[in-house]
Amino acid sequence: MPEYGKYEKVPRPESIDKFIEYLTGNKAVAKLDRISNQVLLVSRTKLPPLKVFMTNIYIVGEADVYEITTSEQNLNAIVTMSAWNGYSQEAKTLCSTMKIGLFKFNEFLGAVYFDGKKFLGYISPNERERQKRRNSPL
Protein backbone atom coordinates (compact mmCIF):
# COMPACT_ATOMS: atom_id res chain seq x y z
CA MET A 1 0.00 0.00 0.00
CA PRO A 2 1.47 3.38 -0.91
CA GLU A 3 2.57 5.53 1.99
CA TYR A 4 0.60 8.69 1.25
CA GLY A 5 2.31 11.89 2.21
CA LYS A 6 5.37 10.14 3.60
CA TYR A 7 8.59 11.87 2.75
CA GLU A 8 11.03 9.85 4.87
CA LYS A 9 11.25 7.14 2.20
CA VAL A 10 11.21 4.07 4.39
CA PRO A 11 12.70 1.03 2.64
CA ARG A 12 10.37 -1.81 1.73
CA PRO A 13 10.33 -4.55 4.42
CA GLU A 14 11.62 -7.09 1.88
CA SER A 15 14.60 -4.83 1.11
CA ILE A 16 15.47 -4.61 4.81
CA ASP A 17 15.07 -8.39 5.17
CA LYS A 18 17.42 -8.94 2.23
CA PHE A 19 19.95 -6.46 3.63
CA ILE A 20 19.92 -8.19 7.02
CA GLU A 21 20.21 -11.59 5.35
CA TYR A 22 23.30 -10.53 3.35
CA LEU A 23 24.91 -8.89 6.38
CA THR A 24 24.26 -11.94 8.55
CA GLY A 25 26.27 -14.02 6.09
CA ASN A 26 29.11 -11.48 5.97
CA LYS A 27 32.36 -12.61 7.64
CA ALA A 28 33.04 -9.12 8.99
CA VAL A 29 29.72 -9.01 10.85
CA ALA A 30 29.32 -10.51 14.32
CA LYS A 31 25.83 -9.38 15.29
CA LEU A 32 22.93 -7.22 14.12
CA ASP A 33 20.51 -5.27 16.28
CA ARG A 34 17.49 -3.47 14.84
CA ILE A 35 17.41 -0.28 16.92
CA SER A 36 14.39 1.18 15.13
CA ASN A 37 12.51 0.78 11.87
CA GLN A 38 15.26 2.46 9.87
CA VAL A 39 18.32 2.07 12.11
CA LEU A 40 20.50 -1.01 12.41
CA LEU A 41 23.48 -1.53 14.73
CA VAL A 42 26.08 -3.65 12.96
CA SER A 43 28.57 -5.19 15.41
CA ARG A 44 31.71 -6.30 13.59
CA THR A 45 34.15 -9.09 14.42
CA LYS A 46 37.36 -7.01 14.31
CA LEU A 47 36.24 -3.42 13.89
CA PRO A 48 34.06 -0.97 15.83
CA PRO A 49 30.26 -1.23 15.43
CA LEU A 50 28.36 0.80 12.86
CA LYS A 51 25.08 2.61 13.39
CA VAL A 52 23.42 2.43 10.00
CA PHE A 53 20.44 4.41 8.70
CA MET A 54 18.48 2.66 5.96
CA THR A 55 16.56 4.72 3.43
CA ASN A 56 14.97 4.27 0.03
CA ILE A 57 15.68 7.58 -1.66
CA TYR A 58 16.24 7.26 -5.43
CA ILE A 59 19.12 9.69 -5.29
CA VAL A 60 20.38 10.90 -1.93
CA GLY A 61 21.31 14.57 -2.07
CA GLU A 62 22.81 17.00 0.41
CA ALA A 63 19.34 18.00 1.62
CA ASP A 64 18.54 14.37 2.47
CA VAL A 65 21.83 14.03 4.36
CA TYR A 66 20.95 17.14 6.37
CA GLU A 67 17.46 15.83 7.15
CA ILE A 68 18.63 12.34 8.14
CA THR A 69 21.54 13.48 10.31
CA THR A 70 19.45 16.03 12.17
CA SER A 71 16.78 13.44 12.97
CA GLU A 72 19.19 10.61 13.89
CA GLN A 73 22.36 11.25 15.90
CA ASN A 74 25.73 9.45 15.88
CA LEU A 75 25.28 7.65 12.58
CA ASN A 76 28.23 5.88 10.95
CA ALA A 77 26.53 5.10 7.65
CA ILE A 78 23.54 5.86 5.46
CA VAL A 79 22.52 3.18 2.97
CA THR A 80 20.01 3.70 0.19
CA MET A 81 18.53 0.30 -0.31
CA SER A 82 17.12 -0.49 -3.76
CA ALA A 83 19.52 -1.65 -6.44
CA TRP A 84 18.76 1.29 -8.73
CA ASN A 85 19.16 3.94 -6.03
CA GLY A 86 22.17 6.25 -5.82
CA TYR A 87 23.55 9.48 -4.40
CA SER A 88 25.19 12.66 -5.58
CA GLN A 89 28.93 13.08 -5.24
CA GLU A 90 28.28 16.18 -3.12
CA ALA A 91 26.18 14.14 -0.69
CA LYS A 92 28.94 11.52 -0.45
CA THR A 93 31.51 14.24 0.26
CA LEU A 94 29.26 15.96 2.81
CA CYS A 95 28.78 12.66 4.62
CA SER A 96 32.53 12.02 4.63
CA THR A 97 33.19 15.37 6.29
CA MET A 98 30.74 14.28 8.99
CA LYS A 99 32.57 10.92 9.25
CA ILE A 100 29.52 9.11 7.88
CA GLY A 101 29.70 6.67 5.00
CA LEU A 102 27.08 7.04 2.26
CA PHE A 103 26.53 3.86 0.30
CA LYS A 104 24.34 1.94 -2.08
CA PHE A 105 23.15 -1.47 -0.87
CA ASN A 106 25.96 -3.49 -2.47
CA GLU A 107 28.64 -0.98 -1.61
CA PHE A 108 27.93 -1.25 2.08
CA LEU A 109 28.47 -5.02 1.95
CA GLY A 110 32.04 -4.28 0.81
CA ALA A 111 32.60 -1.20 2.97
CA VAL A 112 31.80 -3.14 6.13
CA TYR A 113 35.30 -4.74 5.94
CA PHE A 114 36.98 -1.34 6.36
CA ASP A 115 37.37 1.48 8.80
CA GLY A 116 38.34 5.17 8.69
CA LYS A 117 38.97 6.79 5.30
CA LYS A 118 38.81 3.47 3.45
CA PHE A 119 35.32 2.93 4.88
CA LEU A 120 34.11 6.47 4.16
CA GLY A 121 35.43 6.51 0.59
CA TYR A 122 34.49 2.97 -0.33
CA ILE A 123 32.95 2.49 -3.76
CA SER A 124 32.17 -0.78 -5.49
CA PRO A 125 34.80 -2.41 -7.78
CA ASN A 126 32.49 -1.79 -10.76
CA GLU A 127 32.20 1.90 -9.94
CA ARG A 128 35.97 2.11 -9.38
CA GLU A 129 36.53 0.62 -12.84
CA ARG A 130 33.99 2.97 -14.40
CA GLN A 131 35.70 5.99 -12.83
CA LYS A 132 39.12 4.74 -14.00
CA ARG A 133 37.84 4.39 -17.58
CA ARG A 134 36.27 7.84 -17.43
CA ASN A 135 39.51 9.44 -16.22
CA SER A 136 41.90 7.58 -18.52
CA PRO A 137 43.19 9.31 -21.68
CA LEU A 138 41.72 8.17 -25.02
Partner 1 sequence: MNVNDKNGGIAPYKFYVFGSFLREINPLDVDILIVYDQTRVTITTVLQLRRQLCTAFNLKFRIALDVCLLSLKETAGNRFITDENAELILG
> How far from 1 is each of 12, 15, 16, 86, CA to CA, in Å?
11, 15, 17, 24
Q: Is 89 in the site for partner 1 (CB under 8 A)?
A: yes
In whole angstroms, what is the distance from residue 48 CA to residue 113 CA? Answer: 11
The answer to whether 104 touches 97, Cβ cutoff 8 Å, is: no
Query: Which of residues 23 and 53 has its CB atom nearest to partner 1 in the complex?
Result: 53
Distance of CA 111 to the CA centre of its chain: 9
Query: Which of residues 30 and 63 has its CB atom nearest to partner 1 in the complex?
Result: 63
Q: Considering Cα of 6, then 42, then 74, then 100, what sign does the dihedral take?
A: negative
Query: Which of residues 58 and 128 has its CB atom nearest to partner 1 in the complex?
Result: 58
Q: Is 9 in the site for partner 1 (CB under 8 A)?
A: yes
Read off the DSSP letter of residue 92.
H
Q: Is 30 in the site for partner 1 (CB under 8 A)?
A: no
Query: Which of residues 55 and 76 has its CB atom nearest to partner 1 in the complex?
Result: 55
Stretch that binds partner 1, among 22-30, 39-47, 52-60, 114-122 (CB under 8 A): 52-60
Given the rule CB under 8 A, which residues bind partner 1? Answer: 2-7, 9, 57-59, 61-64, 66-67, 86, 88-91
